[in-house]
Amino acid sequence: MSAPAATHDAHAHHDEPSKFHLYIQIAMILAVITGVEVVLVYLPLAKWLVVTALVTLSAVKFLFVIFYFMHLRWDKLFCTILFFIGLVLGGFTLFALLHLFGAEASKPLSAASIEAPAAITANA
C-alpha cells in the first residue's frame, strides 16, 4: 500500500517548481539590477535622481536577498518582525551617527578657518 502513496508524492514533487530554479531566477534578477545600477552611475542625470534610483534599487535587492536567500519568506512572521526591528534600529543608529559626526564636515569653510593661526606663522 505504501508504494502508490510514495509514487504519488514523487509526482507531486516534480509538479512544483524547484527552489533551485527559483534561486537561479532571483540571482539573475539581482544581476540585472546591479547592471542597471552600474549604468545609472555613468548616465548624465541629476545627482538627486541617480541617488534616489540607486537607493530604490538597493532596497529592492535587499528585500529579494532577505526574503529568499535568508528564507524569511518561509519563516515565521515573528522572526521576520524581529529582523525588521533590528533593521530599523540599525538604520536610525546610522542616521544619528551620520548627523552627529557629519555636522562639522557639512559646514562651509570660511577664509578665517583656512588661514594658519598667528602663533604658527610667528615661529616660522
Domain encompassing residue 82: 75-101
Mean of all residue pLDDT scores within the chain: 79
Flag whether 95 is in a domain. yes
**Do both 60 and 20 map to the same domain?**
yes
CA geometry: angle 54, 70, 93, nearest 5 deg: 55
**Contact criterion met (CB below 8 Å) for 58 and 33:** no
pTM check: above 0.85: no
**Do both 22 and 62 map to the same domain?**
yes
Flag whether 41 is in a domain. yes
N- to C-terminal Cα separation, the chain: 100
Cell of 14: 516534480
Considering only 5-14, 60-69, 109-118, which range has the smallest mean pLDDT? 5-14
**Do both 64 and 81 map to the same domain?**
no
Flag whether 93 is in a domain. yes
- What is the tally of structural domains in the chain? 2
